[in-house]
Amino acid sequence: MRVALVHDYLNQFGGAERVLETLAEIFPDAPIYTLLYDEDKTFGHFKGRVATTSFLDTPLARKNHRAFIPVLPIAASAMKIGGDYDLVISSSAGFAKGVRLPQNTPHLSYCHTPLRYAWEPNYLNAVLPKPAAWLAKPALALMRAWDYRAGKKPDLLLTNSRFIAEKIKTCYNRPARVIHPPVDLSVFYPEKTRRKRNYFLALGRFLHYKKFDLVIDAFKKNGLPLRIVGSGPEEERLKAQAQGAANIEFRAFESDHDRLRALYSGARALIFPQVEDFGLVAAEAVACGTPVIAYNVGGAREIVGSGSGMLFDKQTSEEIGKAVERFVTEEKKFTPGRVSKGAAMFSKERFKEAILTAAEEVQSWKSFPRPEVA
C-alpha cells in the first residue's frame, strides 16, 4: 500500500507529533508532507522523511507560525500532494486535512481537534498579542467556513477522545471513530528498581492554555517540591512568576525516552490543570505508575480513574492546592502497579492495529462506491 502522511506543521514536538511518529513507524516508506519543517525543533525525529513543505516554509514562519494563522488555510489549500498514492493519512489539528489530493485518492484523517482558531475565538486571544488578535478577528468567519469544508474532505475521520468526537460532531456534523493516541509501554512502565518519588511534576509546552501559572501559584503557597519541564513562548513569564520560590525548579524538555521515564518515575504525581484534547503526557505518567492530579474536563476524564489519580472541578490555583492536599493524605493507595493498570488501553500495539484496520477499510473504497459523508 503506497501511503503519504500529511501533518499541520513540524516546528515543535508535542502529543500530535508523537502520534505522527507512530504513523511513520506503521508506514515506514511513507513520505511526510507538512506546511513548515524545523528539524532541530522536532529533535530529528522526522529526518529524511519530509518530502515537501508549503510556500510559507521560511525561518520567519517557522519561528512565529501563530502570526501566520490567517494565511495557513491558504497555504494548506495550495499544497498539492503529488504521486500515485493508495491512501493519504492526515494528522490534523486544523490545516493538514485541507490539502489538495489527486481525484479519488482515499483520505483518512486523524483529527486531533477542529481548528481551534476558527471555532474557539478566545483561544486566538490567548496565543496572539491583543492588536494581532483584534486584526485577525474578521478572518475568523472565513477560517470557520474553510475548516468546515476541510472537515468534510476526509473519507473517514479518526480522533483521540470522546471529548473531541463530540466537538467534531458539533463543528462538522459528522461522526469520528475514537482511537486513543499511542503510549509505548516498552518505554513507559513502572521501573523495577523503584526511584524515590520526592517531587511533583508539571510537563509540556509552555503555552497559555496549559495553565502552568496556576500550578506555580499553588506550589508557591504549599512549598512542596515541583519540577516544571518543557519550553515554549510562556517560559520567561513563568520563570519570572516562580522567582523566589526555592521549591520550584525548571528543566528543559527531555526527548530521550529513558530520561523522560525517569522524570515520571521520580514524581509523586503529575499535575495536569489544562483542558486537553486527550493528554498524552497524562497517559505516559499513568503507564509509568505515576498518579495524575487533573482538571475534570476534556481528555483527562478518559485517562484518570479512581486507581490512577484524582480529578478536581475548578480550574484555579486554590483547587489545585486542595487536590494536592487530598492526594497527600491518600498517596499510599496509589501504588505504581495499581496506577499503571489503566495504561493497557493506550498501548502502541492497540493503536497500530486500529490504524491499519481503518486504513485498509478506507483504501478498499477506492474501487467501490464510498459511504456517504455525513
Q: 334-374, pLDDT tens digit by residue?
A: 999 999 998 999 999 999 999 999 999 998 876 555 555 44
Is the per-residue pLDDT at 83 higher than 90?
no
pTM of the entire predicted model: 0.87
Whether residue 51 lies inside any domain: the answer is yes
338 & 357 share domain? no
Is the per-residue pLDDT at 129 higher than 70?
no
Please tell me the predicted confidence (pLDDT) of residue 204. 93
Lowest mean pLDDT among 104-113, 151-160, 193-202, 346-355: 193-202
Please tell me the predicted confidence (pLDDT) of residue 100. 92
Is the per-residue pLDDT at 137 higher than 80?
no
Structural domain including 318 reads 199-344
Nearest to 283 by CA among 184, 167, 158: 184
237 & 134 share domain? no
CA gap 249, 228 in Å, rounded: 6
Give the SS3 label for residue 107: strand
CA gap 184, 359 in Å, rounded: 21
109 & 33 share domain? yes
158 CB-side CA count, 13 A: 23
DSSP 244: T
CA gap 92, 8 in Å, rounded: 6
Mean pLDDT, rounded, for 160-167 = 96
Mean pLDDT, rounded, for 181-189 = 95
29 & 126 share domain? yes
300 & 249 share domain? yes
Please tell me the predicted confidence (pLDDT) of residue 374. 41
Whether residue 278 lies inside any domain: the answer is yes
How many domains does the structure of the chain reveal? 2
363 & 270 share domain? no
Other residues' Cβ atoms within 10 Å of the Cβ of residue 82: 12
212 & 253 share domain? yes
66 & 42 share domain? yes
Whether residue 231 lies inside any domain: the answer is yes
Please tell me the predicted confidence (pLDDT) of residue 133. 60
31 & 92 share domain? yes
- The answer to whether the beta carbons of residues 351 and 180 sit under 8 Å apart is yes
Give the SS3 label for residue 117: helix
Whether residue 187 lies inside any domain: the answer is no
Tens of pLDDT, residue by residue over 259-276, are 999 999 999 999 999 999
Is the per-residue pLDDT at 127 higher than 70?
no
Please tell me the predicted confidence (pLDDT) of residue 332. 94
Q: How confident is the model at residue 306 (pLDDT cuts 50, 70, 90)?
A: confident
Whether residue 242 lies inside any domain: the answer is yes
Tens of pLDDT, residue by residue over 276-285, are 999 999 999 9
Is the per-residue pLDDT at 333 higher than 80?
yes
Sheet holding 309-312, edge to edge: 248-251, 226-229, 199-203, 267-272, 292-295, 309-312
* CATH of residue 177: 3.40.50
Nearest to 301 by CA among 332, 340, 270, 272: 272
Whether residue 9 lies inside any domain: the answer is yes
Tens of pLDDT, residue by residue over 215-267, are 999 999 999 999 999 999 899 999 999 999 999 999 998 878 899 999 999 99
Whether residue 374 lies inside any domain: the answer is no
Whether residue 363 lies inside any domain: the answer is yes
Is the per-residue pLDDT at 295 higher than 60?
yes
DSSP 374: -
Is the per-residue pLDDT at 168 higher than 70?
yes
Tens of pLDDT, residue by residue over 1-56, are 899 999 999 999 888 999 999 999 999 999 999 999 999 999 999 999 999 999 99
Higher pLDDT among residues 195 and 261, named by residue? 261
Nearest to 153 by CA among 72, 78, 77: 77
147 & 45 share domain? yes
284 & 165 share domain? no
Give the SS3 label for residue 267: strand
39 & 111 share domain? yes
